[in-house]
Amino acid sequence: MPRPRSLTQDQIAEAALAVIDRDGLPALSMRAVAAELGMSTMALYRYVDDRQELERLVVELVLGGVDLSPPSGTSWRERIAVLVARMRDHVGAHPGVVPLTMTHRHRSLGILRWSEAVLGVLADAGVEGRERVVALRGLLSYTVGAIQLEHLASLSGAGTTALAGLPRAEFPYTAETAGHARLVDADEEFRGGLDLVLRGIRDT
Amino acid sequence: MPRPRSLTQDQIAEAALAVIDRDGLPALSMRAVAAELGMSTMALYRYVDDRQELERLVVELVLGGVDLSPPSGTSWRERIAVLVARMRDHVGAHPGVVPLTMTHRHRSLGILRWSEAVLGVLADAGVEGRERVVALRGLLSYTVGAIQLEHLASLSGAGTTALAGLPRAEFPYTAETAGHARLVDADEEFRGGLDLVLRGIRDT
DNA sequence: CGTGTAGGTGTACGGCATACGCTCACCATT
DNA sequence: AATGGTGAGCGTATGCCGTACACCTACACG
């Protein structure tokens, strides 16, 4: 009977993501998204309860796009590594959303589906019960932490420049390590850390 | 010559932390901190450039309080575990600051000092060069991620309740795992995940 | 006992999320 | 073809926020 809806929540999430990708996370506001869609600010509230939900939609859009088809043919560790890498790539394609993924992760269907996929691989590998819980949470923690370190740290680049001006005497190891750090690129570093976790998980 | 300062930056950070602990992070505002200190809002700007710096001070206050004295007498893995646990405990005592620690971590002297301590233990264990870089970043990523998962997830408790209402068919492993999860308490889970990383680090 | 520097205050502005009430387009019924 | 109700979309207003600016004032020094 009534006038039909002219937008889907997906379109709204896409508009918000466009704003974030173009102007950065601080530029995300109800006004900005409405402008992006060519409608008034308040019209947005017909589709979305509040800003929180808008953010949730953006996170779902990004996290929901991760390919969860089982990577087959290799070891279980490698299959998990593929799932983790897909997640990292998807989030990494939209660095501005990283802080949002943190705040809204726990109510994301996308992350639950991803977790389910990882649990499946772990189960195949013979990791059971308590061990499996710990393994999943460990993987999730590492992945989440590493993605953040990567994007929030490089955001300003202040991290590395601050390193340069450190008092050598107080930070001998850090100074020495900084030299090596420049030789390890982000992908290798991420994979290296992931391997630490994967090595620590004991299969059957 | 001029009138002396009546406050230190530490006192300001403590006031801000008090606001966060009492009323939560969203309640943190220049006005609230000024009120906490019994002065006008703008007086704050005599001690702090802007809100960013205020947040930085709070993070430094929390992170700077971590005891870095070398835990001696046990294996290197246990020594690292102690350093990690101290950090977790310090941050965990102020859950509201968790999101701030993320945003400001990369310019925190406290975290650099902590990293230096961890690097020292790793060096003692014979972990060198690239391996040491990867180990540190892995530990940092896990620690940061795990602390966040712990506090942001439980923040609303929505995570666990959402789990209950999941379609069993689509999430068989998650459903099964949720049962086990209730049996593992947060401390064990954190330590379990950390052990995964520690096991993965190869010494001499 | 002045005097200048810097501490402290009050006001004001622009931007934010959002509550509220209005108009009017659409569609099902008559 | 006329009509009526439902909900889409908009304009306005409120009360937060950070902070720029101009102004007083207390103090340490000469």
SS3 labels along B65-109? CCCCCCCCCCCHHHHHHHHHHHHHHHHHCCHHHHHHHHHHHHHCH
Structure tokens at B172: 């068989």
Q: What is the pLDDT of residue A114?
A: 97
- The C1' atom of D23 and the CA atom of B40 lie apart, in whole Å, by 15
Into which CATH architecture does domain B9-63 fall?
Orthogonal Bundle (1.10)
For the stretch A22-36, pLDDT in tens is: 999 999 999 999 999
- The helix/strand/coil state of A86 is helix
**Region A165-188 average pLDDT:** 84
Q: What is the pLDDT of residue A161?
A: 57
* Cβ <8 Å between B198 and A193: no
User: Alpha-carbon torsion B62, B68, B69, B73, what sign?
Assistant: positive
Please tell me the distance from the alpha carbon of residue B190 to that of residue B147, in angstroms, as a whole number. 8
Q: What is the pLDDT of residue B152?
A: 79
Q: What letter represents residue A22's amino acid?
A: R
Q: Please check whether residue B130 is in contact with residue A131, taking contact to mean a CB–CB distance below 8 angstroms.
A: no
Q: From residue B146, how far is each of A126, A136, B14, B92, B189 by CA, in Å? A: 24, 11, 26, 11, 9
Please tell me the distance from the alpha carbon of residue A194 to that of residue B197, in angstroms, as a whole number. 9
Task: Please check the confidence at residue A152 and state whether its pLDDT lies above 70.
Answer: yes
Task: Please check the confidence at residue A153 and state whether its pLDDT lies above 70.
Answer: no
Task: Please check the confidence at residue A176 and state whether its pLDDT lies above 90.
Answer: no
Question: On the CB side of A126, how many CA atoms lie within 13 Å of its CA?
Answer: 4
Q: From residue A180, how far is each of A3, A70, A133, B133 by CA, in Å? A: 63, 35, 34, 7
pTM comes to: 0.93
pLDDT of chain B, 204 residues: tens digit per residue: 778 888 999 999 999 999 999 999 999 999 999 999 999 999 999 999 999 999 999 999 999 999 999 888 789 999 999 999 999 999 999 999 999 998 898 788 999 999 999 999 999 999 999 999 999 999 999 999 999 999 876 555 455 556 667 788 899 999 888 777 777 899 999 999 999 999 999 997
Domain boundaries, chain A: 9-63, 76-201
Structure tokens at A178: 């900084």
* Cβ <8 Å between B196 and A135: yes
Question: On the CB side of B190, how many CA atoms lie within 13 Å of its CA?
Answer: 21
Please tell me the distance from the alpha carbon of residue A72 to that of residue A82, in angstroms, as a whole number. 10
Into which CATH architecture does domain B76-201 fall?
Orthogonal Bundle (1.10)
Distance of CA A62 to the CA centre of its chain: 8
For the stretch B151-183, pLDDT in tens is: 876 555 455 556 667 788 899 999 888 777 777
Please tell me the distance from the alpha carbon of residue A171 to that of residue B142, in angstroms, as a whole number. 22
Q: What is the pLDDT of residue B10?
A: 96
High-pLDDT (> 70) share of chain A, %: 94
Residues contacting nucleic strand D by the 7 Å CB criterion are A 1-7, 39-43, 45-47; B 1-4, 27-32, 41-42, 45, 50-52
Q: From residue B51, how far is each of B24, B34, B45, B58, B60 by CA, in Å? A: 16, 12, 9, 11, 14
Q: What is the pLDDT of residue A181?
A: 72
Facing residue for A193 by CB, picked from B141, B170, B177? B141
Residue A179: band (very low, low, confident or very high) from pLDDT cuts 50, 70, 90? confident
Count of pairs with CB atoms under 8 A, one residue in A, one in B: 189
Burial label for A5, CB within 10 Å (0-12, 13-18, 19+), is exposed
User: Alpha-carbon torsion A70, A75, A76, A79, what sign?
Assistant: negative
Mean of the per-residue pLDDT values for chain A? 91
Task: Please check the confidence at residue A160 and state whether its pLDDT lies above 60.
Answer: no
Contacts of A102 in chain B (CB under 8 A): 99, 102, 148, 152
For the stretch B2-18, pLDDT in tens is: 788 889 999 999 999 99
